[in-house]
Amino acid sequence: MDFDFSDDQKFLRDEARKFLEAQCTSAVVRNVLDNDDVSHAEDLWKQVKEMGWLGAAIPEEHGGLGLGMLEMCVIAEELGRVLAPIPFSSSAFYFAEAIKQFGTDAQKSAYLPKIASGEFVGCLATSEGPGDSDAAKLKTGFSSGKVSGTKLPVTDGDIATHALVLAKDGSGASMAIVALDADGVTRTPIQTLEPTRSHAEIVFDGAAAELLGNEVGNGMTQLDSILNRAAILVAFEQVGGASRCLEMAIEYANERQAFGRPIGGYQAIKHKLADMYVKNEVARSNAYYGAWALSTDAAELPEAAAAARVAASEAFWFASKENIQTHGGMGFTWEVDCHLYYRRAKLLSVQAGAPGVWKEKLVTALERKNAA
């Protein structure tokens, strides 16, 4: 039994934490939050690119570090802890993994080295309205190498250089790669609950596009797999954020005095924080199982991914809202960081599948497994 990260991976985590605590301070996050014209933390993004983290799970032959998915999980957790306001997940968790998994050799050679270096920034454009993506309801179309339609919201859509677009293709759906500087692409930043991660509406009007891989009509199957794999990495981001919320709540509860003693001495607060701890550990253990499934391409990946996502969304949401509650009135001010985590928790819980969607995926996977 070795259900833990290796010493090398823990070393990477320690180094990443040191770096991010110094370079991704609250001030850096708030600079993005408070300025409408700042879409992401440029200096931080530049340094992250230079460290090669974007290519941690990209093979060396395609310009990556050739480490692996476990290393990417470690990085994801650390980015989640500090609310890194950069388009890392869009590019590394969704776009790069999609190309790795489904791209042709030519696409791998064309995209992966530039994603690894940060020259290209990818994003995932699937959403067209409330609810989970549904091939039958898709309005965006893909034919004769052109995409037309509107995607909203697209995380990092205004920062990215390339988008993976889910589009109707004849009777089915396909995933298409679109260069966002092409003619026929209009991008408009939109206001969201989570301004430290940029979102856009993208209108495609006959924009040049290429099919992901070489099989037409396979888009929903591809998307399912892309989302499952990314779900595990996002779960680590969430676990990182939830852990930080618990630390903030403990620190404040030990410090803040009421009725003559620290509020952390009262059971109403102690039990709240104990509940937070239990949810966080459940989420962490489920995320680790996802990491194992991801790194070994296990048959259990669909249920592991869904469970990781369900547990992590619940943990981060609970920790972020009860962290505000623990901070009392202070927690409801703009100046205290609690609301940044509350915002990020909500973004990550609804991004690429809300908890209800993942619960349904989980039960479907369990049914399939138990029927076999």
Residues that bind another protein (CB under 8 A): 1-6, 70, 246, 250, 253-254, 261-262, 264-265, 267, 269-271, 273-275, 277-278, 281-283, 285-286, 288-289, 291-292, 295-296, 303, 306-307, 310-311, 314, 356, 358-360, 362-363, 366-367, 370
Q: Rg of the chain's alpha carbons, rounded to an integer?
A: 20
Nearer CB in complex with another protein: 43/255: 255
**Residue bearing tokens 């940044």:** 340
| Least Cβ distance, residue 8 to another protein (angstroms) | 12
**Residue 55 · residue 95 · CB < 8 Å:** no
Nearer CB in complex with another protein: 11/334: 11
CB within 8 A of 5, min separation 6: which ones? Answer: 13, 70, 73, 74
| Least Cβ distance, residue 264 to another protein (angstroms) | 4
| Least Cβ distance, residue 291 to another protein (angstroms) | 6
Nearer CB in complex with another protein: 5/88: 5
Both tokens of 222, joined, read 């591809």
| Least Cβ distance, residue 126 to another protein (angstroms) | 22
Q: Give 265-327 as a DSSP string.
A: GSHHHHHHHHHHHHHHHHHHHHHHHHHHHHHHT-TTHHHHHHHHHHHHHHHHHHHHHHHHHHH
| Least Cβ distance, residue 65 to another protein (angstroms) | 18
How far is it, in rounded angstroms, from Cα 211 to Cα 178?
9
Nearer CB in complex with another protein: 52/264: 264
| Least Cβ distance, residue 282 to another protein (angstroms) | 3
Q: Give 67-121 as a DSSP string.
A: --HHHHHHHHHHHHHTT--SSHIIIIIIIIHHHHHH--HHHHHHHHHHHHHTSS-
**Residue bearing tokens 């690894």:** 116
**Residue 164 · residue 94 · CB < 8 Å:** yes
Provide the phi-psi class of 32: left if phi over 0, else alpha when psi is between -120 and 50, else beta. Answer: alpha
**Residue 244 · residue 366 · CB < 8 Å:** no
Nearer CB in complex with another protein: 42/281: 281
Nearer CB in complex with another protein: 110/354: 354
| Least Cβ distance, residue 254 to another protein (angstroms) | 7
How far is it, in rounded angstroms, from Cα 218 to Cα 166?
10
| Least Cβ distance, residue 313 to another protein (angstroms) | 10
**Residue 221 · residue 213 · CB < 8 Å:** no
Nearer CB in complex with another protein: 46/270: 270
Nearer CB in complex with another protein: 212/235: 235
